[in-house]
Amino acid sequence: MTLDRRHFLAQSAATIGLAGAATSTHAQAPSAQSENISKPAGRRGNRIALATYSFWQFKNEQYRSLETCIDLAAEMGFDAVEFLHRQMTNESNDYLQKLKRRAFLLGLDLCGLSIHQGFLYPDAAERQKNVDHTIHCIELAYQLGIPTMRVNTGTWHTSKDFDELMKNRGIEPPIKGYTDEDGFKWVIDGLSKCLKTAEKCGVLLCLENHWGLGRTPEGVLRIVNAINSPWLQILMDTGNFLEDPYDKLELMAPKTVYVQAKTYYGGGLWYTLDLNYDRIAVMLRKHHYQGYIALEFEGKEDARTAVPKSLALLRKAFGKG
C-alpha cells in the first residue's frame, strides 16, 4: 500500500476529533478532553460498540468470523464494532473492504482495532519485530477506515501462562537481570517509532491499562506523558483494575479517548468485578468524554443472551444526555 499517494490523509485529524491538535510528536500534547474541540450545546449519550472479542473470547470458533460478529452487532442494536486483530483469518485488501462495506450497509461504524504486541524484551530485534507489527496493524486500520487502535506495553513473560498471570492478579517480576525501568525505556522507544505512521494514516494509538507496565494508572500515564504526542492517548478498560478501580479510572480520564467496558454475566472467565457503570458514566461525563463505549463481555454465560443484557446495561448508564 502506497500511503504517500493519498494526500488527503494529512488532513484527516478532524475526522477523529483531533481538530486543532499539534501535528508534531515533539509539540506540547494537550490532554484528550482539553483540545480545541467545540462542545455541543446539548450533550448526547455515548455510542455503544461491540468488541468482537465478546463473542469469540479466543475459544468460541462459531463466532470467530468477523462477518458473523458484524451481523450480530447490527441485529442486537449496537452502534459500532471493534475488531480483535487475532480474529482476522484474512488480511487481503479485498477482504478488508468487504468487511467495511458490510458494516456500512448495516449502519455500523468500525471504531476500533484491538491488537496484541509488546516491548518488554531485552532483545532489540524482538522489540523491532513488535514495532513492525504495530505499524502493519496501523495500516490495516487505515484500510478499514478505523480511527483508533489499542496498543499495550506487553508483559514480561515470566508467568507460565495467562492463567498464572491472572492467578497472581496481573503481577509478575521482570526478566532476571532487568528492571521495570528498562521496560519503560523500551516501551516509550517502541511506541515512539510508530507515531509517524499513525499520524500519516490518521489512526490514534490508545494505550490500554492492560497488564505489564500498564497494570497501574501511573504506569500508563508515565508512558503517555513521556511520549507527549496527540497521536498516543489512553484506552480505559474498566475491568483491568482488580481492586478499588474508580479512583484509578479517574486518574486516566483526562487523557482517555476510548473506553472498553467489561461485563461478567455467568461469572468471569478469570475473575468477576461488580462494576458500577452509573458511577463510571458520571465520572466520564465530568471529564467531557464523548467517545465510544466498547463492550468486552468476559463472562461464561452464552454470549447470545449475555451480550444483549450488557448492551442494555451500558445504554442505561451511558445513553443519558
SS3 of the chain? CCHHHCHHHHHHHHHHCCCCCCCCCCCCCCCCCCCCCCCCCCCCCCCEEEECHHHHCCCCHHHCCHHHHHHHHHHHCCCEEEEEHHHCCCCCHHHHHHHHHHHHHCCCEEEEEECCCCCCCCCHHHHHHHHHHHHHHHHHHHHHCCCEEEECCCCCCCCCCHHHHHHCCCCCCCCCCCCHHHHHHHHHHHHHCCHHHHHHHCCEEEEECCCHHHCCHHHHHHHHHHHCCCCEEEEEECCCCCCCHHHHHHHHHHHEEEEEEEECCCCECCCCCCCCHHHHHHHHHHCCCCCCEEEEECECCCHHHHHHHHHHHHHHHHCCC
48-318 homologous superfamily: Divalent-metal-dependent TIM barrel enzymes (3.20.20.150)
Question: pLDDT per residue over 146-174, tens digit each?
Answer: 999 999 999 999 998 888 988 888 889 99
The answer to whether the predicted template modeling score (pTM) of the entire model surpasses 0.75 is yes
| Predicted pLDDT at 38 | 58
Phi, psi of 115 (to 5 degrees): -120, 165
pLDDT of residue 34: 56
**The pLDDT value given to residue 31:** 62
Listed as ranges, residues in the chain with pLDDT below 70 are 1-43, 320-321
* Cβ pair 262, 239 in contact under 8 A: yes
Give the pLDDT confidence score for residue 170 in this predicted structure.
Answer: 84
pLDDT in the model for residue 167 = 86
**Domain coordinates in residue numbering, the chain:** 48-318
Q: So what's the pLDDT on residue 166?
A: 85
pLDDT for 218 equals: 97
How high is the pLDDT of residue 25? 37
Q: Are 254 and 278 in contact (CB under 8 A)?
A: no
For the packed helices 303-318 and 66-76, what is the interaxial angle rounded to 10 degrees? Answer: 50
pLDDT digits (tens, 9 = 90+) for 174-222: 999 999 999 999 999 999 999 999 999 999 999 999 989 999 999 999 9
